[in-house]
Structure 1
Amino acid sequence: MLGVLNQVLHRRGLLPVRDGAELAQRLAAHPDKVFAYDGLERGVPRNHDRDGQAEEYSAKKKRTA
């Protein structure tokens, strides 16, 4: 199923850019020269109970600061 989706997105030119150099090329050719980025990573509120914390939080991404 995912393969079909990727084929359709590729045919329409809608696959996400995963390379910085390719992104720079695409943005240089874009008619709009000002782009807005709206993104924010928020911490996960943790349960104070250790057992509840273990059940709710997988710790896949550790907060460094």
Structure 2
Amino acid sequence: MHEILTNAWFGLMCLMLVFYVITDGFDLGVGILSLFSREEKERDQIFLSIGHVWDANETWLVVLG
């Protein structure tokens, strides 16, 4: 029984990680783009473009966790 619960928990954590990466794609993309931006003003614009939806996007992870 212990092995079944361990595997189920591991599977659930992997599934949540996959859902996070899929639904958080634009946030991760913006983070990667900011690494290649040399000017502070340009980085600020990149982050401001996702600022209004960033927190709402991760809220479901907290609720499910």
Query: When the two structures are superposed, what TM-score results if normalisation uses the length of structure 2?
Result: 0.25
Q: Which has the higher contact order (CA 8 A, sep 6+)?
A: 2
Q: Which protein is richer in helix relative to its size? A: 2
Normalization by structure 1: what TM-score? 0.25
